[in-house]
A and B are shown apart, each in its own frame.
Chain A
Amino acid sequence: MNFLLINFFLISLLLVTTFFIFKTTSLISVVALTGAFTLLCSAIYVNLDAVDVAFTEAAVGSGISTILMVMAAAKLPEGKKNKLINLFPSIILAVAISLILIIIIANLPLLGDPNAPIHLHVVPEYLKESKDFFHIPNVVTNILASYRGFDTLGETIVIFTAGLGVIALLTSNTLNRKTNFKKNKKNER
């Protein structure tokens, strides 16, 4: 019961944060609110017994990504109070998607049900065997590094590619748009 109450409280805080991110125009406060959002999420993960995920979310999601966003926001101009675009179709889309999700969630097994199909395959073997195989008590580490090592390798490749993309974007000066607009501006003056 306590568990559900804490969860409900944290999720309503998440909704409030999302609403204020939607409302604010100042970029730096949007970034700060995003940091708060991810930190709240890591609290929810702790409540849901996912300590490793909470750790990663607090370090990577709330730390590194907030730092990156602050660095970007420092170079960008202050956000302007503009009209929202596509307001009407997006409301319809949002309502439709939430209806579909509610219907789907009603068909899922209850939260915390130990006999849900997700808990019956593969995982009992992981929990039973991994201590004898790898001598590490943390099952998450065992699965991440050993059973699903190739997944982690793929993740590393993705990050490497993203890093290459960021470097290529930030150092390229050869986009012809730029010269076009600079010329136009000079002509106007």
Chain B
Amino acid sequence: MVGGLFIIITSQNYLKKVVGLAIFQTAVFVFFVSLAKVLDGTAPILTKMANAYSNPLPHVLILTAIVVGVATSALGLALVLQIYKNYETIEEKEIEFLELKSDK
């Protein structure tokens, strides 16, 4: 999780920043699902053989969150493409350089 945050802040490449965001999200999801685990439990599908089930509620929340996460990264990728169209680069320092040059 911290690795994802680290990538977001330190990379100059915007596509890598989007990837870092996705990693950050996925780490939170793994943490959430790990809270739902019950030892000796099975997947929450009702059968006669099992006597303990894992908690289904976090699973539901994470199902929703995964799909929303994909929507977020799609929007981020569209932004990156639009930035590339306008500046012809996706490196942060080069864009700052172009901005400074256009101000003069």
**Residues in B whose Cβ lies below 8 Å from that of A77:** 84, 89-90
- Find the residue from A18, A44, A131, A137 having the highest chain B CB count within 10 A: A18
| Total cross-chain contacts (CB, 8 A) | 254
Dominant secondary structure of chain B at its interface with chain A: helix
**Does A68 lie within 8 Å of B74, measured CB to CB?**
yes
Is A97 interfacial (CB-CB < 8 Å)? yes
**Does A68 lie within 8 Å of B73, measured CB to CB?**
yes
- Closest Cβ–Cβ distance, residue A71 to chain B (whole Å): 8
**Does B41 lie within 8 Å of A114, measured CB to CB?**
yes
- Find the residue from A52, A83, A138 having the highest chain B CB count within 10 A: A52
Which B positions have Cβ atoms within 8 angstroms of A? 1-7, 9-13, 15-16, 18-20, 22-23, 26, 29-30, 33-47, 52-64, 66-75, 77-82, 84-93, 98, 101-102
Which A positions have Cβ atoms within 8 angstroms of B? 11, 15, 18-19, 21-22, 25, 27, 30-31, 34, 37-38, 41, 44-45, 48-53, 56-57, 60-61, 64-65, 68-69, 72-73, 75-77, 79-80, 82-87, 89-91, 93-94, 97-98, 101, 108, 111-114, 116, 118-119, 122-123, 126-127, 130-131, 137-140, 143-144, 148, 151-152, 155, 158-159, 162-163, 165-166, 169-170, 172, 175, 177-178, 180-181, 184
